Structure 1
């Protein structure tokens, strides 16, 4: 291994064969019109709430049933609400300058600085060189991907980082290609829960929770709650992948990859400065309760520091790696979710959803939230879109059933991180399904994985929500 090229920008949206999605667009009004009709229902959400529901239903339908760009759909939805007077234009534009957007911008610039310094190259070369068996390689790769979730925002960015390593391993271990191709996107997706910047959906969920209750989760608390879950679920997933896609003989095979991944020599001055910069940012993020500086401001200062010598990236180069479409989509879905809450539509939907479990214990409601959130990727492919669907409903549902809203939102967001069933379920899955020159996995392989991993994921999230997180300061009931 000599040199790799990395990117933190999301891969291109996959194309799918078969009947074009736009031929099903006529189904969108069948969801929007009944939603608008809820204004006439006794005890319904009112005209404002019904309009928000109709626009929201149309947006979800467009995400699922058409090939239109997800960001365009989200922006069109909030523009309609603003023109209708449901969403104040000032509130709409404020989301574009919200802390979550600035935090993501800073995180992408920091990631570009790490990549430009060569530190990422050094790190990814070190991991496979230390492995001596298939199981060791799987778990060392898992550790590396979990660590990457702390500094590289967006699952698609981390998947792009992993592709060159995977292709090098595919050449060295051809019998392990399918297992490794399944392992990398699986761990990328499950490890995202480790930190607030692990996925844009976390920032959306945190902002909606803060707007609804006056208190969010924050970087340090999210890290304390999410990192243990990320470690446990990722390593369990690695074992599942090994059991499903390797033989006993494969797992017993010994090898030495140091020739393919030679050591890089002493750290350079640029690498040391990059490590110090990102380390300082992480420490300041984790100590926010003591110094009071917002994470977005800390990230901005760190991003500025990453763009001056001896770092090897300039401001212009770093900003080119920022996926602006993703930022607009995140801001728009946050505004859409906020409109659901402010209009009372989310509370009405939660009240309707509550009827089957009314009077049930809080843990039963929590289990229902976890199961629905885990399965939501089958209907809504974007993680941020799933948050804008689930979180506004989960908050009033939790309040009505005696659940702590923060516990319900965190469990829902963690559960929604499972999106492995279809190639179109998540960008990392799509990316690894179509790597040039390397045969990876089929749709049948993904279904085989999901049959085992989905129930396991539900159980793991439930165990953490009921037993682990309360001991870490996230009680099940207020």
Structure 2
């Protein structure tokens, strides 16, 4: 969707206005101050070549600033030290490695939630700490970067780059949106296009980047209809986040969930199984959210008013319509369809999804066949995301392998009787906590790395299928709409310059209604739909 609609890059330069003015060094004795002149006191002498000492308010503020910066760090270190001393040892069932893992994991969660440190830095520092402390072997840390899920995501981004270079997302958007005859029809056709994009483009931020120029083109084609434009500015990121559950590559958190399940139980969820369970939830949840956005942000007259969008209206700067697909574009589209089909039939042929994706990535970048060469396609891969995924997956695996997760959930659930009512209550609690977790942990991958390792042993206690519980938690954790900073797609559509966009109050109103709706939807699917799609709850 980027090639036809264009993008605008905005560079913001920040000036450092907090720098202290340079000190003046006098060639002779500095002038005496007023107090010294009044009393006749001799000026204080200082060693030649040294700057005068400043005891003014600026120096005091600087000292207070340093104190405020050091105090939280010292407090956190003290709290983690106290946690290590309070935690029991092997005599209580907590191995020494598990004790260390809990402390390091608590430190990572504390840094994710209470500091502005980069998420990748925190996760790598935590994984490195576990390695240096002997909980992890070096080959476990380095081997995480060579895991199949990392290669799967790399190849998926290459496939997405080939699709974008072929202009297929643009043509899909134009073909769907020009069929809209009303605002409601436009909203649901746009929702359908975004759901389909989840099957083609990995990661929510990548899909948001593709959808932004399409939204700008639609907004320009709707002059004087500010309420509709504002509604669409909120609808697009909402649907992008809710539809990510449709596919295994829709978010990095999904791959972390599968890796943790494979580490804990020996079995994960393959691409076809995830698609079969996630796509219906994505379709229903996305269209319900689209209808909710329309009801909250538009009037009945807006929704019923006739709408006519032409192809030329959806092209940036009034340019030409997207060109017809050439031979290479058709070849890429066919290859991607074959790759998705091979992913879905993994249980039949036994070829790993990462290997299939790598074959497809080489095919769509082959000379004379593909629409993009391999080197430019690799530049579109978000390597920081892959590092973050690898590090958080290592943390989740350490929680399970060290025995920390089993001990923690056994302690928390000690004395809880496993029964039908308690299992239902546990699942409801899991969904509610996962839905609200974005208020504490903004990173979707971090939420999965924290929750899923703890939920796997707890699900066994209640007699539930760990895969079903982990899937429900990951699906509910896809809700992150409360604040503009809660997710990258929401932030991307928060400030649109001169175009009318949604406000913070609009986001809060939507979240207040969408959060319980999504939680109820996930619970309904877990009990009544997914068992018929190969993901039983028990």
TM category (shorter chain) comes to: over 0.9
For 1:381 and 1:196, the matched residues in 2 are separated by 20
Measured in 1, the distance between the counterparts of 2:518 and 2:392 equals: 26
Question: Secondary structure, in 3 states, of the residue corresponding to 1:260?
Answer: helix
Q: Please give the residue correspondences for 1:152-167 in structure 2 after superposition, counting only pairs within 5 Å.
A: 152-167=201-216
Contact 1:6 1:115 in 2 (8 A): no
Tell me, yes or no, if the aligned pair for 2:5 and 2:217 is still in contact at 8 Å: no
1:471 alignment counterpart: 532
Residue 393 and residue 345 in structure 1: after superposition, are their counterparts in 2 closer, same or farther (change >3 A)?
Answer: same
> Quick one: structure 1 residues 473 and 442, their matched pair in 2 at CA, closer, same or farther if it must change by over 3 Å?
same
- 1:332 aligned partner: 391
Where in structure 2 are there 5+ consecutive unaligned residues? 13-64, 316-320
Q: Is 2:363 the counterpart of 1:305?
A: yes
CA distance in 2, matches of 1:172, 1:27: 55
- Could you list the per-position Cα deviations for residues 354-378 of structure 1 after superposition, in whole angstroms to 9, with x for gaps in the alignment? 2585445322211111111111111
Alignment of 1:26-425 (within 5 A): 28-29=76-77, 32-40=80-88, 43=92, 45-173=94-222, 174-175=225-226, 176-258=228-310, 259-261=312-314, 264=322, 266-308=324-366, 309-355=368-414, 358-361=417-420, 362-425=423-486
Offset from partner CA, 1:393-424 (integer Å, 9 cap, x none):
00000011111111111111111111111111
* CA gap 1:25/1:450 in 2 versus in 1, 3 angstroms: farther
Q: Match of 1:434, SS?
A: coil
Deviates more, 1:307-316 or 1:195-204: 307-316
Gapped runs of 5+ residues in structure 1?
13-18
Q: Match for residue 4 of structure 2?
A: 3
Q: Distance in 2 between matches of 1:120 and 1:156?
A: 15
TM-score, normalization by structure 2: 0.83
Determine if contact 2:329/2:371 at 8 Å carries over to the other structure.
Answer: no
Distance 1:47 1:210 in 2: 24
Task: Summarize deviations over 1:82-117 as a string: whole Å, max 9, x none.
Answer: 000001111111111000100000000000000011
Residues 167-205 of structure 1, C-alpha deviations (whole Å, 9 max, x = no match): 111222242121111100100000000011010110000
Look at both structures and tell me which one has the larger radius of gyration over its CA atoms: 2
Q: How far apart are residue 349 of structure 1 and its match?
A: 2.0
CA-CA distance at 1:34 after TM superposition:
4.6
Q: Per-residue displacement from partner, 1:9-31 (whole Å, max 9, x unpaired)?
A: xxx9xxxxxx9x97855563365
CA distance in 2, matches of 1:402, 1:442: 44
Deviations 1:22-71 (A, max 9, x none): 78555633653354234337726233212111111111111122222111
- In the TM superposition, residue 268 of structure 1 has moved relative to its aligned partner by 1.5
Query: Is contact 2:97–2:135 with CA below 8 Å preserved after alignment?
Result: yes
Q: Which residue of 1 aligns with 2:18?
A: none
